[in-house]
Amino acid sequence: MITQKAVPFSLLSPEGAKVIIGGLGDSIIPTPIAPTPNTLFGPRGICLVADRSLWVADTGHHRLLGWRSHPESDNQPADWIIGQPDFFSEGKNAKGNPTASTLSVPTGICICGEGLAVADAWNHRVLIWKKIPEDSNIPADIVLGQADFSQGEPNRGFMDTACDRLHWCYGVFYYEGKLFVADTGNRRVLIWNQLPETNGQPADLVLGQPDFTSRNENGGGTPTAASMRWCHSMAIWQGNLVVADAGNNRIMLWEGIPTENNTPCVAVLGQSSFDKVELNRGVYFPTAASLNMPYGVTVAKDWLLVADTANSRLLGWKYLADLRLLHGTDANALIGQLDFQSKGENRVYGLPMRDSLCWCYGVLVCGDKVAIADSGNNRILLWDLE
């Protein structure tokens, strides 16, 4: 292992977010925000479609909001809604039963081929639209984790799990025909080698567990290079799979994309070894090498950006061809805090600013833009890369 020099510089414009959606509150205490076309409550997922639309998982309002084009001004109202009958209603599954156009705690969201995929976490399913919606309440075409759109029980109502069941699936990611799902409650990542075409289609591969029927935390034993506790999001970094294992306070790095069940990763960020899992490496204040419940991960060219959620900051690591040399190393870049030893929400537990963060969950790079789901501030930040 080598230690890289930790220089707290930002990959993002020093002027802060160019556009802010939501975040209308004037308090640092999380309070419910009434749903409107331009308010958000604990958003966790963002999906920027290049030169086209923006979709946000407005998690606390149990809905998706869509903008016809990337917003150019603060608090620009959404054009479309999925999951509620109108912009002013809320409630799990629109206060009814699950359907192809309702949601319960939607979290992850991504472009999926020509369409859209959403991790509908508390309905224990993934919804897939074959085409990106361009209107309100377009029903999904395919559901995974359930036999049909009317079901919403964890693991289809069984105590055990299988290759076609989900339990609190919080993350979804698509890359070159493969669909990745963070099946968080089952402590595993499921991979479909081709985009699913039928409801309830079983996954082809599992990571984090020895087989498709196991679901114990860290495999029922000591944490290892193969086990997971609370996986949440995924990315591909120069052809290599990355998984944010929030419950173990680490980021897992594989060489390439695994092709066998339970393949161990080759390195982790946030911990000094594979069996260590304490938040901030067991001390109160963070460092450039520690993490506290990292939920989001994305790639900006040769940089890996991590939403270090409970430290209210983004960290950036520069790519090295030998991933093993990154094991346990310091981050190279910092966003949201003044130094690597700080962790206050909005830096000093104050009011949100254009360049501050509070429990940032999701992060996504699209072209020269970085979208951040700044969940604790009930807002989405659209920030320019430097």
- For 26-72, the pLDDT digits (tens) are 555 556 689 999 999 999 999 999 878 999 999 999 999 999 999 99
| 247 part of a folded domain | yes
Q: Are 87 and 61 in contact (CB under 8 A)?
A: no
Residue 333 structure tokens: 């870049």
Written as six digits, the tokens of 341 are: 């030893």
CA angle 83, 89, 90 (to 5 degrees): 65
The pLDDT, as a whole number, for residue 9 is: 62
Q: What is the CATH number of the domain that holds 102?
A: 2.120.10.30
Residue 121, pLDDT above cutoff 90: yes
In a domain, 4, yes or no: no
- Give Cα 90 distance to the centre of its chain: 22
| Residue 31: predicted pLDDT | 60
In sequence order, what are the residues at sequence separation of 6 or more whose Cβ sits closer than 8 angstroms to the Cβ of residue 305?
A: 11, 297, 298, 299, 314, 315, 316, 363, 365, 370
Phi, psi (rounded to 5 degrees) for 235? -155, 165
7: in domain: no
| Residue 55, domain member (yes or no) | yes
Number of domains, the chain: 1
List the domain range (segments joined by +) for residue 43. Answer: 19-384
Residue 207 near residue 225 (C-beta atoms within 8 A): no
Residue 364: helix, strand or coil by DSSP? strand
Is residue 14 in some structural domain? no
pLDDT of residue 29: 52
Distance between CA atoms of residues 293 and 311, nearest Å:
8
Q: Quick one: pLDDT at residue 51?
A: 79
What is the residue-averaged pLDDT of the chain? 94
Least confident of 2-6, 24-28, 289-293: 2-6
How do 63-67 and 231-237 pair as beta strands?
A: unpaired
Q: Are 294 and 247 in contact (CB under 8 A)?
A: no
Q: Is residue 157 part of a domain?
A: yes
Residue 10 lies in a domain: no
pLDDT (tens digit per residue) in 246-271: 999 999 999 999 999 999 999 999 99
Decide if 12 is inside a domain.
no
Q: Taking a C-beta distance cutoff of 8 angstroms, is the pair 342, 357 a contact?
A: no
Output the pLDDT for position 246. Answer: 98
| pLDDT recorded at residue 24 | 59
Cα dist from 277 to 99, 158, 188, 292, whole Å: 38, 30, 16, 10
